């Protein structure tokens, strides 16, 4: 993809509408507890401010369902951004109307304004055409740097773009497109995908599409037990997705037809209940009745690390076990450390995998950490992302 970028635009003294993804967690005191998404947007923000833009930042936070509420206000994010930039951030309590327009009119070159939560307006998620037009009237230039929302056809991600001939992407969006595009367009082999998580239905289409590109798929997490059931292992009381068993069977057939390798756990960390407070033990092969698998075991870790060490490119989405509990984090953290020590190009596909590499302290050793879980998975599958389609191509 060769999309127009901010460096292709003259932004001096222009009103620049920058769609960012500031959907960050807040604690009970309304303080930002994880600023990774804000950090990821800083290069684009700093470039635009340095080059004299009159910058208008727009984001969502949470799911307020079109109703304004203090719980989902972006005001704490404005305060956090102010500290991170060491610069005054103007905050507008609304997005459209006279108050917002006055705030924008008062911006000078190099000033920055953060609007209130765009999802306080139900028209945003409906991609309402009049609302999109109203948003477009606020600015001279449109830039989208919110990859995490690129799979949503909303007013601030797609509807607004049609009113700008040169709708461009920011640095973060470009980086996402470069790395994820490389995975699907120019993969280096051996190419390994690590896919985990609890539900087969969330990942089975991803695995199927990845089989067209990768050499190895390492399966972990709760969904591994459905794969093992298909291979006629006893899985005890482990999670089983009976509804999608036929899809798993089809996935195995596809892998065999393409001569691709699906790797499954050979041993497990098991317990009698979904708790961190009960005894755990390791078993190989079958899981006894009354027990459930909670993590991959040491032999599986060893097998998976061998594949990782032999790969030139690795994509990871989804944990290997219930890593939120200390007794069951070893599998997931071992994958994170193994990837960090690999010479391969390593791409983390959002969600829990991002949390895992951060908690394992190896995030800075990954080639790329995607800011969009759902968006990255759709992109990897070759599906259209409306927020990207809406941006202009380089001329």
170-192 pLDDT tens trace? 999 999 999 999 888 889 999 99
Q: Which of 19, 37, 152, 203 is catalytic?
A: 37
Query: CATH classification of 6-175, choosing from 3.50.50.60, 3.40.50.1260, 3.40.50.1100, 1.10.760.10?
Result: 3.40.50.1260
Q: How far apart are CA 204 and CA 223, in angstroms?
A: 9
Residue-wise pLDDT for 280-311, tens only, equals: 999 999 999 999 999 999 999 999 999 999 99
Look at residue 12 in the predicted model and tell me its pLDDT. Answer: 97
With contact defined as beta carbons under 8 Å apart, do 150 and 385 qualify?
yes
Residue-wise pLDDT for 77-86, tens only, equals: 999 999 999 9
Q: Which of 52, 62, 110, 374 is catalytic?
A: 374
List Cβ neighbours of 61 (8 Å cut-off, separation of 6 or more). 22, 23, 24, 72, 73, 74, 77, 117, 119
Residue-wise pLDDT for 222-265, tens only, equals: 999 999 999 999 999 999 999 999 999 999 999 999 999 999 99
Q: Is 199 a catalytic residue?
A: yes
Q: Which of 351, 372, 373, 387 is catalytic?
A: 351
Domains 6-175 and 187-380 share a fold: yes
Q: Is 299 a catalytic residue?
A: no
Q: Is 80 a catalytic residue?
A: no
Q: How far apart are CA 215 and CA 219, in angstroms?
A: 13
DSSP codes of every residue in 334-347: HHHHHHHHSSSEEE
Q: Give residue limits of the domains in the chain.
A: 6-175, 187-380
Closest CA to 112 of 134, 141, 81: 81
Q: Does position 1 have pLDDT exceeding 80, yes or no?
A: no
The fold adopted by the segment(s) 187-380 is Rossmann fold (3.40.50)
Burial degree of 147 (CB within 10 A; 0-12, 13-18, 19+): buried
Q: How far apart are CA 331 and CA 165, in angstroms?
A: 48
Q: Which of 162, 199, 229, 299 is catalytic?
A: 199
Residue-wise pLDDT for 44-53, tens only, equals: 999 999 999 9
- Mean local confidence (pLDDT), 374-379: 87
pTM above 0.85, yes or no: yes
**CB atoms near residue 221 (< 10 Å):** 29
Residue-wise pLDDT for 125-136, tens only, equals: 999 999 999 999
Q: Does position 351 have pLDDT exceeding 90, yes or no?
A: no
């Amino acid at each position: 993809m060769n999309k127009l970028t901010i460096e292709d635009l003259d932004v001096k003294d222009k009103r620049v509408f920058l769609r960012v993804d500031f959907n960050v967690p807040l604690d009970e005191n309304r303080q930002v507890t994880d600023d990774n998404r804000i950090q990821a947007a800083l290069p684009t923000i700093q470039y635009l401010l340095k080059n004299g833009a009159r910058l208008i930042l727009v984001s969502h936070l949470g799911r307020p369902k079109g109703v304004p509420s203090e719980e989902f206000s972006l005001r704490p994010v404005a305060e956090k951004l102010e500290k991170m930039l060491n610069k005054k951030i103007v905050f507008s309590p609304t997005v459209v109307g006279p108050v917002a327009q006055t705030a924008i009119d008062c911006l000078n070159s190099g000033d920055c304004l953060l609007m209130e939560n765009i999802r306080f307006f139900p028209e945003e998620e409906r991609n309402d055409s009049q609302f999109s037009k109203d948003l477009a009237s606020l600015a001279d230039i449109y830039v989208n740097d919110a990859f995490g929302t690129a799979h949503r056809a909303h007013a601030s991600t797609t509807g607004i773009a049609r009113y700008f001939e040169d709708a461009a992407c920011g640095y973060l969006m470009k980086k996402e497109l470069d790395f994820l595009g490389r995975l699907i367009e120019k993969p280096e082999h051996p190419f390994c995908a690590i896919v985990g998580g609890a539900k087969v239905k969330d990942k089975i289409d991803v695995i199927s599409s990845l089989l067209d590109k990768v050499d190895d798929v390492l399966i972990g997490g709760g969904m591994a037990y459905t794969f093992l059931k298909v291979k006629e292992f006893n899985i005890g009381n482990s999670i089983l997705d009976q509804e999608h068993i036929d899809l798993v069977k089809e996935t195995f057939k596809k892998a065999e037809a393409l001569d691709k390798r699906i790797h499954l756990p050979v041993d497990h960390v098991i317990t009698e209940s979904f708790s961190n407070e009960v005894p755990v033990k390791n078993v190989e092969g079958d899981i006894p009745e009354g027990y459930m698998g909670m993590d991959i075991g040491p032999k599986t870790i060893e097998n998976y690390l061998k594949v990782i060490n032999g790969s030139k490119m690795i994509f990871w989405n989804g944990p290997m076990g219930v890593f939120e509990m200390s007794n069951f984090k070893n599998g997931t953290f071992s994958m994170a450390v193994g990837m960090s020590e690999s010479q391969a190009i390593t791409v983390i596909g959002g969600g829990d995998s991002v949390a895992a590499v951060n908690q394992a302290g190896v995030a800075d050793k990954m080639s790329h950490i995607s800011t969009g879980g759902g968006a990255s998975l759709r992109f990897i599958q070759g599906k259209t992302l409306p927020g990207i389609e809406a941006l202009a191509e380089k001329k």
